[in-house]
Structure 1
Amino acid sequence: MGSTEEPDRPISLYDPSSSPSHPLLSKPPDDPQPETEPDPTQFLQISYNYGPRPFKDLPFLVLFLLIVLCTFGFGLFSVFNRNTYYSDLSSFSYSSNSSSCVESSVSELSPTTWFSFYSFSSSSSSFLDSLLWVFVITFVLSVPICLLLLLALKHYTKQIVYVSLPFFVVIPIFFNVYWFVACTLSSSCSDAFPLVYRILVLVFVFLVIAVIVWIFVVNWHRIELTVSIIGVASDALSRNLGLFLVLPCMSLGLVIYYAPIVVFLVFASHNGEIVPKETDGEYTCVWKQDGWVPAYYALAILTMLWSLAAMVEAQVYVISGTIAQWHFSKEGQTPRRSIRSSLRNAFGPSSGTICLSGLLICAVRVVRAAVDTATQESLPGIVNLMLRCCVNVFLSAIDFLNKFTINFVAITGESYCTSARMTYELLKRNLLSAVFVETISTRLLAGIIFVLSAIYAIAACAILKAVSNLGVDSYYVAALAWVLLIMVLGFFVHVLDNAIDTIYVCYAVDRDRGEVCKQEVHEVFVHLPISRNHRPSLDSRTLGV
């Protein structure tokens, strides 16, 4: 059995003095290593690295900073080099004397235009006021809703899940019947949508609902295990509530970081000149951008996408580092400054690794979007279908590998490639089913927030109909409130999902070391199904008990 390290002592992953019973990457005993060339990973001992961490994957951090500096540098150039006549394009006309565009009298809005604009503003003011108030109230209420949901999942996980499960079926049935009846009673809808098509859609939705019920019945034993997993993760999050303050601040920092880039993109379009253009023998004045503007657009968009992906990975890193410190702490002790140390590691020694991970995720999203677009534009065929399936499988594999690699990086501080290899070997050796943890809990949590958001939207719509005269617009306001609440609750599920993944990796580390750091975690995760690709030995089955 491996020895437990003190939290205040730096732990080296490469400790030749330790002799774990199950080394990470060592070969079987019947295949000894040559004594002349010892394998540096033979005595690898995995644990949370509390000590100073060296910088990893620095080239990717340098590349990211270089791209950001170029984006801001050319952005400042676009501000000072802009053409001030861009907004006055309509006041320019072609002059045959000089064969160029010259400025003429400035056009103004006619009284009729001003009147129509005022009428439009007056008619939409009631809708916008109601929408603004509903958005503000929804955003304010979303904070206590998230906290109450977290506490409910911690103490009453089984009750919350079992109460929500019927709504997975009841709410779709309600909306299916409601739209059918409403469309039948409305003359305009019934004329545009004949009865035969309405019945076909109604039957199709009921078939989908029947499939959902069948999935629940088949996976009922998995749902019971997932309930316990969600309860353990909710308990871990409730002990680190500071994450719900730090993570939104990180998102706000990304928005502030985006603001000057958006301004630069606007001013970049002002770089150019007004030139004459001949069309059917007539000359008009058009705006011609400078040749470097499209390239700057591509650079700025790449920077924004990479920054977004890197920030998401940084949030995952902070969640993983914080939850891992809670998991590996001694019973009865609360780790101090765990969030601060995770932030310091994320934006310090592991910043290059986070940039690399963000670049991979960004590339996967771009390639997947390009493949989907190319498939839609090209002719259908078996070759295109097979190519798309192969690409999607490959990209999904990268997503899955990256998912647990960042959790492992937050625990050990290793480089990306080393962590990917070590994570694969760790999960493979301990015969754990990662797909189970990834799929069931995510879908169950998504269903819970869908039910809560739908109930909130129905209540908001009923209140709007009672206190306002919006009419049909009340449905649109309630739908937008539903979208806002489900986005906030989706962020909550994102945090809880990453907590589950982190605890899963920590449990795998405990199995590998033959230790039990958190008894409540082992009592739940020991029931995870064993991978069917390997036949576990008796020792490997009893390690997690």
Structure 2
Amino acid sequence: MGSREESHPSSSQDPQSAAAQPLLQPPADADAPDACAAAPPPPDEDPYPPISYLHGRRPIRDLPALLLFLLLSLATFALGIAAIARRNPAASRVSSFVYDRSTSSCVLPSSNSFFSNSLSSSPFLKDLIWTLVLTLLLAAPIALAVIWLLQHYAKQVVYASIPFFILIPSFLNVYWFVACTVGRECRQAFPLAYRIVVLIFVFILIGIFIWIIVANWHRVELTVHIVRVAATALLSNCSLLAVLPALGIGLLIYFLPIIVFLVFSTWNGSVVPREVEGTDGEYYKCAWKQESWVSAYFALAIITLIWSAATMVEAKVYITSGTVSQWYFNKEGSKSTKSIRSSLRNAFGPSFGTVCFSGMVMGAIRFVRAIVDSAKQDQEAQGFVNLIFRCCANFLLAAFDFVNKFTIIFAAITGEGYCSAAKMTYELLRRNLLSAVFVETVSTRILIGIMFVLSALYAIVVCAILKAVSDLGEEMYLVAALAWLLLIVVLGYVVHVLDNVIDTVYVCYAIDRDKGEVSKQDVHEVYVLLPVSRNHRSSIGRSLPIV
């Protein structure tokens, strides 16, 4: 990628091109109040800095959000340590206290009670543990194999998986209907009419899914190429598949002391006598009374946990975007070195305030969405006005969620602060947003379908092996279902990473197009075919070789 400090592509571009004037760069002289109304600069001057990955040291951004996050974390840990130091051991023996009338207080009898507990092993538990351990060990090779197949045989994988999107749900629907009809308990619990209704309803859902596939069939070929580009980018930075889960483990380690603090904070209080209702003060029972500050500490710790989890999610997006963007803007044939290390340093260094700001926005979105969902289930909150309110709230939350996602990607590339990155991202994606949203949705759904098919096939293999080597009865299906769930969680995480890669490559492509440059020719050959609207059909069959 060439530098724009010495060459000025705006002077050599087609005058009919929309990129004749750079789209997103702020004016060089921010103090000039009439910069927008000023006369255009001479053609040999470029008042706009280039938009590209910012190497080197970055300035500290969004310091107030960083300080607020650190303040909440320090307060949570400090009060948690104080809660452990001030805990009352009597909290674990409240049921042993009795009311003493002579002292009008609760006392602990002198007798002690002991109890023993034994764990019994069973074939089910043994087979379950071994199955889940082996599934967890095989998950990483399976994930790498899937990404490799998507890079080299994306078309074959996609078209081979699409029939299973219909066959597997149809098989499970018929299998459930027959098994419930044959089984005595199920047959008695679900009458034939109910079973037929469920059978027809599931087939209607499958028919709707078939209609969605047919309606978007003309976009499948473009999706194949987008998925191949994303798989290539991820395999070129395959260390991300080890670094990102390690960050998740680090978050769990960070959560453990806070959870311990929450448990011990409930031990701050005392055992007090409480009058039994309806006895006119004749009988009392002993109950635990927490100190008043415990509820406030719970609120503080929960806010810290939510914000920390959202911040870690945004940090993973930041690291993925920073790493992939370095791969994208590198010259063809060259390999970026220490790209993940620099992305980690930026994410938890000068841009950590931006990551915290983005996490705060995401946490607020999740919190408000939870309130809206709870209001949806409230029977007293029904009505047309409430329905309109929920629809508007969901629309705004989805819009904020979408803008936030591309904002953190742009911040990872340029090192901008959150508000500046949000504004610049909006301007950058304004000309390309609609088609990107649609194609991205199709790509994500196809990837999820592929992971579902692979996980279902794995569960069938597990079920067959258990039936051959174990003595489990119907519990075998539960073990296979849990193995399927574990594998689909791991593969679903891979889909999430690929989704972030697709978004990052799209933003990098938009930056290239805004500057009139081509950093990755194969990416441009795919993304240039994005339809300009939902109703526009791209000519991919005539523009790209079918591989």
Does the CA contact (< 8 Å) of 1:25 and 1:44 recur in 2?
A: no
In 2 relative to 1, CA 184–105 (structure 1 residues): closer, same or farther, beyond 3 Å? Answer: farther
Q: Is the partner of 2:286 in helix, strand or coil?
A: strand
In 2: Cα distance, 1:243 partner to 1:219 partner: 32
Q: Deviations over 1:382-428 (max 9, x none)?
A: 11111100000000000010111111111100011111111111112
Residue 154 (structure 1) aligns with: 151
Residue 70 (structure 1) aligns with: 75
Residue 87 (structure 2) aligns with: 82
Deviation at 1:108, TM superposition (A): 3.5
Does the CA contact (< 8 Å) of 2:328 and 2:505 recur in 1?
A: yes
In 2: Cα distance, 1:430 partner to 1:193 partner: 51
Residue 253 (structure 1) aligns with: 250
Residue 180 (structure 1) aligns with: 177
Q: Deviations over 1:484-537 (max 9, x none)?
A: 111111111111111110000011111111111101101111110114799xxx
Q: Is the partner of 2:89 in helix, strand or coil?
A: coil
In 2 relative to 1, CA 33–385 (structure 1 residues): closer, same or farther, beyond 3 Å? Answer: closer
In 2: Cα distance, 1:84 partner to 1:157 partner: 61
Deviation at 1:24, TM superposition (A): 1.6
In 2: Cα distance, 1:394 partner to 1:126 partner: 51
Q: Deviations over 1:43-62 (max 9, x none)?
A: 24311111321111110000
In 2 relative to 1, CA 54–380 (structure 1 residues): closer, same or farther, beyond 3 Å? Answer: same
Residue 539 (structure 2) aligns with: none
TM-score, structure 2 as length reference: 0.89
In 2: Cα distance, 1:42 partner to 1:364 partner: 37
Does the CA contact (< 8 Å) of 1:91 and 1:107 recur in 2?
A: no
Match of 1:143 among 133, 140, 144: 140
Does the CA contact (< 8 Å) of 1:274 and 1:288 recur in 2?
A: yes
In 2: Cα distance, 1:414 partner to 1:37 partner: 26
Residue 480 (structure 1) aligns with: 482
List aligned pairs for 1:99-498, cutoff 5 A: 99-106=104-111, 108=113, 121-122=119-120, 125-279=122-276, 280-281=278-279, 282-377=283-378, 378-429=380-431, 433-498=435-500
Does the CA contact (< 8 Å) of 1:18 and 1:43 recur in 2?
A: no
| Structure 2: gaps spanning 5 or more residues | 11-19, 27-33, 537-547
Q: Is the partner of 1:48 in helix, strand or coil?
A: coil
In 1: Cα distance, 2:104 partner to 2:482 partner: 52
In 2: Cα distance, 1:178 partner to 1:251 partner: 38
Matching residue's letter, 2:241? F
Q: Deviations over 1:361-392 (max 9, x none)?
A: 00000000011112211342111111100000
Q: Deviations over 1:94-129 (max 9, x none)?
A: 11111110001446468xxx6xx65xx43x632222
In 1: Cα distance, 2:213 partner to 2:149 partner: 22
Residue 8 (structure 1) aligns with: none
Bigger mean CA deviation after superposition, 377-386 or 390-399? 377-386
Matching residue's letter, 2:81? L
In 1: Cα distance, 2:433 partner to 2:518 partner: 17
In 2: Cα distance, 1:522 partner to 1:85 partner: 68
Q: Is the partner of 1:85 in helix, strand or coil?
A: helix
Q: Is the partner of 1:437 in helix, strand or coil?
A: helix
Q: Deviations over 1:412-457 (max 9, x none)?
A: 0001111111111111245762212331111111111111111111
| Structure 1: gaps spanning 5 or more residues | 6-10, 535-545
Q: Is the partner of 2:60 in helix, strand or coil?
A: coil
Residue 523 (structure 2) aligns with: 521
TM-score, structure 1 as length reference: 0.90
Residue 22 (structure 1) aligns with: 21
In 2: Cα distance, 1:225 partner to 1:4 partner: 29
In 2: Cα distance, 1:264 partner to 1:16 partner: 58
In 2: Cα distance, 1:189 partner to 1:401 partner: 48
How many residues are aligned here?
A: 512
Matching residue's letter, 2:268? N
In 2 relative to 1, CA 492–288 (structure 1 residues): closer, same or farther, beyond 3 Å? Answer: same
1:509 maps to 2:511 = yes
Does the CA contact (< 8 Å) of 1:437 and 1:501 recur in 2?
A: no
Residue 537 (structure 1) aligns with: none
Q: Deviations over 1:319-357 (max 9, x none)?
A: 101110011000110011111111111111110000000
In 2: Cα distance, 1:22 partner to 1:33 partner: 13
Does the CA contact (< 8 Å) of 2:255 and 2:305 recur in 1?
A: yes
Does the CA contact (< 8 Å) of 2:434 and 2:534 recur in 1?
A: no
In 2: Cα distance, 1:107 partner to 1:382 partner: 61
Deviation at 1:249, TM superposition (A): 1.0
| Residue identity (%) | 58
Bigger mean CA deviation after superposition, 438-447 or 197-206? 438-447
Q: Bigger relative contact order, structure 1 or 2, given CA contacts below 8 A and separation 6+?
A: 2
Matching residue's letter, 1:270? W
In 2 relative to 1, CA 433–178 (structure 1 residues): closer, same or farther, beyond 3 Å? Answer: same
1:97 maps to 2:87 = no
Q: Is the partner of 1:273 in helix, strand or coil?
A: strand
In 2 relative to 1, CA 350–522 (structure 1 residues): closer, same or farther, beyond 3 Å? Answer: same
Matching residue's letter, 1:76? I
Residue 54 (structure 1) aligns with: 59
Does the CA contact (< 8 Å) of 2:76 and 2:300 recur in 1?
A: yes
In 2: Cα distance, 1:32 partner to 1:94 partner: 80
Residue 2 (structure 2) aligns with: 4
Q: Is the partner of 1:334 in helix, strand or coil?
A: coil
Match of 1:43 among 45, 48, 53: 48
Does the CA contact (< 8 Å) of 1:328 and 1:517 recur in 2?
A: yes
Deviation at 1:22, TM superposition (A): 2.6
In 1: Cα distance, 2:75 partner to 2:409 partner: 31
Q: Is the partner of 1:4 in helix, strand or coil?
A: coil
In 2 relative to 1, CA 229–274 (structure 1 residues): closer, same or farther, beyond 3 Å? Answer: same
Matching residue's letter, 2:449? G
Q: Is the partner of 2:285 in helix, strand or coil?
A: strand
Matching residue's letter, 1:315? K
Q: Is the partner of 2:241 in helix, strand or coil?
A: helix
Q: Is the partner of 1:285 in helix, strand or coil?
A: strand
Deviation at 1:221, TM superposition (A): 1.1
In 2: Cα distance, 1:428 partner to 1:42 partner: 22
Q: Is the partner of 1:336 in helix, strand or coil?
A: coil
Does the CA contact (< 8 Å) of 2:219 and 2:439 recur in 1?
A: no
Does the CA contact (< 8 Å) of 1:23 and 1:42 recur in 2?
A: no
Residue 538 (structure 1) aligns with: none
In 2 relative to 1, CA 331–25 (structure 1 residues): closer, same or farther, beyond 3 Å? Answer: closer
Matching residue's letter, 2:502? I
